[in-house]
Amino acid sequence: MPKRARPSPPQPATPKGRGWLRITGGVWRGRKIPVTAADNLRPTHERAREAIFNRLVHAAETFGQRLQGARVADLFAGTGALGLEALSRGAAAAVFVEQDRTACTAIQSALTSLHAEDRAEVLNADATNLPRAAHPCDIVLMDPPYAADAVGVALASLAARGWLAPGALIVVEAETDAKTASPPAFPPGFTLIDTRTYGRATIWFLSTVK
């Protein structure tokens, strides 16, 4: 009589509402960070994130800013994917700005697990109505909700509240659709210097007038 195949042992279930974020480059390359899944948290796709940072690293002369040693702000931080990637790839410091308190707690936990608390600050605030900056930033990474038309308001807030160092570079992610076929009218003082498309994501690289 043929033997019955033994049933496979049960696999541990993934905690409900949890996922993973993998850092694509730098000293933490390959590290997986647990993130909370929520409708309002949409981390930049891994391939798009890798392409953005490869562009930042290899096109420093084009952009006028180097990621290595830069002070970075991650607006609409969500899972903190962009800011964590920046720290991994050599940014000196990062400020994460996120309105959701639960997301802020998760970012702080990720920083603790990476022993990076001394290089980062998590700010529970609205990126379209920023508080006065403690220090100006060299590079700003911005991933606003696709459904929200928040880019222009956030850029104006950055400029008004002292968040931008002279010649700062701003990287904005938007959903690739009919609206992004032509870039929007950005506030005075911002110049579009490059546009890239990675799948569903359109990335605008902006510079500030020195």
Task: Tell whether 8 is covered by a domain.
Answer: no
CA 202 to chain centre: 14
Domain limits for position 66? 18-208
Contact yes or no for 84/23 (Cβ under 8 A)? yes
* Average pLDDT of the chain, as a whole number: 84
Contact yes or no for 74/94 (Cβ under 8 A)? yes
Task: Tell whether 109 is covered by a domain.
Answer: yes
Task: Tell whether 4 is covered by a domain.
Answer: no
Return the structure tokens found at 43: 């981390």
**Residue 146: what pLDDT?**
64
Confidence of residue 175 (pLDDT cuts 50, 70, 90): confident
Average pLDDT of span 83-101: 96
Helices (H), 20-92: 46-58, 60-63, 81-88
Dist CA 193 CA 171 (whole Å) = 10
Number of domain units in the chain: 1
Task: Tell whether 23 is covered by a domain.
Answer: yes
The CATH code of the domain that includes 152 is 3.40.50.150
